Amino acid sequence: MSIKYLSLAFLSAVLMLSLAVPAEARRHWPTPVGVWYVALDAEPYVQVPGLSLPGLVMINREGTALLEDGGDFGGFPFQRDSAQFAAWRFKNGRVLMRTLFLQADAISGDVQSWWQVKLKLRMQGANTMQGTVAVSTLECLGPAPIGALNCPDPIAAAEDFVPQPEGEVRVTLRRLSTY
């Protein structure tokens, strides 16, 4: 067999293998890395349609993210939240993100619980993501001020987080444009 036929056979095999890959996997997706405006559907929380809780998320290239939202500053009565630190992964236009933050009493500052937020997002073009947010909590053990000293390890106790009654809530993210 000549080299010409071997080359043709090799190219045919490569072409057939590339066609076997689903179109979804061959598509080039824009990277989610950047700063995004977050609009969380607030209706499940306040029973008023059309409202959203604003926020910002900075998604870093190495798989980490930092989030802040309007509730972090005492926007809800009697609570104050720490920054939300996250890890994320991206595949085929989908972003999965898990955040953790601490919640404290807004008046006394006593830490009361861990909060976990899981985001399931889908790229909708280069500058928009849509999906859902599911929130769960893990209470610290003990009365204030001892509660902060008895917060469980959120990684070791990952199975003990209690889902919030709102379930999955709609969220939209829009990329901050550059000048």
Could you tell me if residue 37 is inside a domain? yes
pLDDT of residue 77: 65
Give the CATH number for residue 46.
2.40.128
- Which residue positions in the chain have pLDDT lower than 70? 1-27, 73-77, 143-145, 147, 178-179
Residue 27 φ/ψ, nearest 5 degrees? -65, 140
Could you tell me if residue 63 is inside a domain? yes
pLDDT of residue 25: 47
Could you tell me if residue 125 is inside a domain? yes
pLDDT of residue 115: 94
Could you tell me if residue 16 is inside a domain? no
- Domain encompassing residue 74: 29-175
DSSP H or E segment with residue 172: strand 162-175
Q: Is the bond leading into 145 cis (omega within 30 degrees of zero)?
A: yes
What is the number of structural domains in the chain?
1
**How far, in Å, CA of 172 to CA of 179, rounded?**
22
pLDDT of residue 75: 61
CB-neighbour burial class of residue 105 (10 A; exposed 0-12, middle 13-18, buried 19+): middle
pLDDT of residue 4: 55
Could you tell me if residue 166 is inside a domain? yes
Could you tell me if residue 77 is inside a domain? yes
Under 8 Å between Cβ of 112 and 139: yes
pLDDT of residue 178: 58
Sequence letter at residue 10: F
pLDDT of residue 81: 87
pLDDT of residue 5: 52
Residue 56, token pair as written in the block = 């910002």
Could you tell me if residue 14 is inside a domain? no
